[in-house]
A and B are shown apart, each in its own frame.
Chain A
Amino acid sequence: MSYASASTAASGVSLHSARTRMTSPQDRERPAPTAHASDLSLVRRAASGNALAVAELVQRLECIPAMLRELHRRYGAPLASDELAEIEQNTLAVLWSKLVSFEGRAALETWSYRFVRHELLKAFERRDRNRRSVVDGAAVLARVPQAEPREPEIDPGVLSECIERVGSPAADVIRMRHFDELGFEDIAMRCGEPLGTIKARYYRGLERLKELVAPFIKREQG
């Protein structure tokens, strides 16, 4: 995994871009059912002050600092421990402030993962920008670990951000298919939709995703 390309990706796509901009009229006709209704219920109960729900929420999300450490390690651990501690604080602060907007479209951990990754990449970008005057490009490249054998053509961070921009319900089907590892039949059952509709949504979602990631593929090749 290359943190240089991932960092570029972080700057190229806004996390909070209009989620429904690419949503087709037929997709907007009916709201998609919540894929992770129990997680949504947990967050709402915690937000209303239910002590049991708060405890469960803490338990579910206690892995966030470790998630950050693990991702940082996978990017070659370029930050000092105090910098990482600062990112951890920022990430937790951002996460809590956004928790009220959690819609249950992904599992809590998946939803959190996106923030953790985004905050880490933002920190890489900030660090590179601040050091541009004293560290030359070759030194930065030397710090970047060698590509892993399974280096994908499209950075996972870019994909994650672009799925957001695909919008619901097509993005929900893509998430359930790939991130929750559900078969189309299971997705159809969970959404209460005909199998053909789910497959069509998946196809349309992939097509939109392809359009959205295209500039990043070109950038990496260029």
Chain B
Amino acid sequence: MTRDDELLAKIVAGEVARDAGAARELFARRPELVRHVRELERLALGLDHAAREQRDVLAAARADVSQRDREHVRAALQAGPGVVRNGGGRATRLQWIAAAAVLLLAAGTWLALRGAAGDGSRQLLDGAGAIELVGGPSELRAGAVFEWRGELRGAERWRIELRERGAGGARGRLLGDFTCREASWSPHADDLRDLPAEVLWSVHRIDSGGISIEHSQPLALPVVR
């Protein structure tokens, strides 16, 4: 840092007053620095404002935490990919056993359904879907009504997922999702705008932490705009 910079740093830090002799001499010699210091001070005020806003929001939030919030955060923390996946020996073993059981069940269902593939434009794909669809459209178009059977408990919701159809009907990338409380869903034209010619449609019952509890069989549907 040059000597001028050092003095400027002291002025901005409030160690040297702007009307102190050294500061006045600097500003007389380099008047452009007056504006520079003003801008830095304005920036510091902006930082104070941002910090105050954050403190206010935090204080208000802390006073407004509900039991539901606690449950959501706890559920998300336990399900989150970044932390606390490995909760110790016994829990981890149980999780592995549960995961293996789910995989076996899924594989069994896949094999069972493989021989009974349906036909028509609306294609039921492989999968262990527990949510039963009621009729339902054979294509995804604006205004089409999808309905299913099931009840929500507490803070649960329905989540409709639209995914890319991968090779062999596999679930591909998530293209869009929608949540609702009613056991029916109807897309708007806007929802279809960026979709490919065919998508996989499925509905999930999710808990308050967004974890899927059960889901329907995925449907391969042509998108009609």
Question: Which A residues form the contact surface with B (CB < 8 A)?
Answer: 1, 43, 46-49, 51, 54, 57-58, 61-67, 69-71, 74, 82, 85-86, 88-89, 92-93, 95-100, 109-110, 113, 130, 133-134, 150, 152-154, 156, 159-160, 174, 177-179, 181, 184, 199-200, 202-204, 206-207, 209-210, 213
Contact = CB atoms under 8 A, between A and B. Distances in A.
B74 interface: yes
A136 B51 CA distance: 34
Given A49-B88, A96-B80, A66 B46 contact: no
B62 interface: yes
A97 B82 contact: yes
B15 interface: yes
Contacts of A96: 76-77, 79-83
Contact of B58 (A109, A133, A152, A160): A109
A218 to B, nearest CB: 13
Interface of B: 1, 5-6, 8-10, 12-13, 15, 39-40, 42-51, 53-54, 57-58, 60-62, 64-66, 68-70, 72-74, 76-77, 79-84, 86-88, 157, 179-181, 190, 209-210
Contacts, number: 172
28 contacts: A46-B83, A47-B84, A48-B86, A54-B83, A54-B84, A62-B69, A62-B70, A63-B62, A66-B61, A67-B57, A70-B57, A70-B60, A70-B61, A85-B157, A92-B210, A93-B210, A96-B76, A96-B81, A96-B83, A110-B54, A133-B190, A154-B46, A159-B46, A177-B47, A178-B47, A199-B13, A202-B9, A203-B8
